[in-house]
Amino acid sequence: MTVGDLSIAEVAAILAATDRIEQMASAERARMLAGRRIALLFYESSTRTRTSFELAAKQLGAITTLVSDKSSSIEKGESLKDTGLTLRALGAECIILRHPNSGAPYLLATATGLPVLNAGDGMHEHPSQALLDLRTMLARLDGVNAHRVDEKTLAGVTVVITGDILHSRVARSNAMLLPRLGAKVLLCGPKELLPEDALGLGAGVEIERDFDKALKQASARGRGVAMMLRIQRERLAGLELDLGDYVARYQLNEERLIACAPHALVMHPGPMVRGLEISGEVADGPNSAIEEQVRHGLAVRTALLARALGVGGFESVTV
């Protein structure tokens, strides 16, 4: 549901399981969830998250079925509760939910009693994204012990999250997870996209509206991350932005990266709008970990599925 539900020990266990599953022979992996039934219930379009959850489930041998809001009875007005009950009646043992309304996974979990994996709910959270981002950082940053995940693992690391924070479930999940591992999270963006209320996300979260100043705080070699976010036009709800001004102030381009934080790890949860929040050169450049993020996403999601269904060393945990 939310990264807030996960203790640091649980985060460590998920990442350790990710490593284990990754190292397994594919035949062994395919036995983990052989014959188990997993439903993907997607009320919003998705490329990365949907495909990686689906591939993760298949790698573990599970049978998957995809239900999307288009071409299903959802179009006829069937409620989330009834859709969930229908999937359960058809044998689903776990539901992966992507939904435009914040909090929808709670409703589905309550209604069905099944483990529900939150694959992004409205502007609320995207917990698996924060976990894959964490794994990416552990793999790429200097001096972090990727095998010892605790309150100090990211001590001294500064993560600058820039852009449309208001509408971003990725920003929320990262801002609520990373400080608990010792990182400093700097949120950056204009007032319209980053209200002061964001400070309520917790300790270790700060606001720095000047992108250059924020980046400079992430300039230490191997200790800085620049995470860029897309402006979510579909959620702007009438809010008007001067995009030219936005690009001038917040775009991550080579010039700015070299001037402010030449060593920073560049991340983006996708989908990117090249030329808006990030230049193509930076997205494809040596600092970029964007494709690695996607690969880590697949790996982390295998562990999340194993955990949801209580296999692979996990004691039937309900999520």
Binding site for another protein (CB under 8 A): 1, 79-81, 99, 101-104, 106-107, 111, 121-125, 166, 169, 172, 176, 195, 197-201, 237-238
DSSP-based three-state secondary structure for 191: coil
Work out how close the CB of 237 gets to another protein at its nearest, in angstroms, rounded to a whole number: 5
CA distance 144 to 194: 30
What DSSP assignment string belongs to 145-186? Answer: -TT--STTTTTT-EEEEES--TT-HHHHHHHHHGGGGT-EEE
The answer to whether 285 touches 94, Cβ cutoff 8 Å, is: no
Query: Residue 4 or residue 156: which is nearer to another protein going by CB?
Result: 4
Work out how close the CB of 82 gets to another protein at its nearest, in angstroms, rounded to a whole number: 9
Phi, psi values for residue 207, rounded to 5° = -115, 130
Work out how close the CB of 244 gets to another protein at its nearest, in angstroms, rounded to a whole number: 26
User: β-strands 158-162, 116-121: how paired?
Assistant: unpaired
Query: Residue 165 or residue 282: which is nearer to another protein going by CB?
Result: 165
Chain length of the chain: 319
Strand partners for 64:
38
Strand partners for 158:
184, 224
Query: Residue 27 or residue 237: which is nearer to another protein going by CB?
Result: 237
**Each residue of 159-172: b (16+ CB within 10 Å) or e?**
bbbbbbbbbbbbbb
Query: Residue 235 or residue 295: which is nearer to another protein going by CB?
Result: 235
Work out how close the CB of 197 gets to another protein at its nearest, in angstroms, rounded to a whole number: 4
Work out how close the CB of 162 gets to another protein at its nearest, in angstroms, rounded to a whole number: 17
Query: Residue 110 or residue 145: which is nearer to another protein going by CB?
Result: 110
Query: Residue 85 or residue 155: which is nearer to another protein going by CB?
Result: 85
Angle formed at CA 317 by CA 313 and CA 319, multiple of 5 degrees:
130
Work out how close the CB of 194 gets to another protein at its nearest, in angstroms, rounded to a whole number: 10
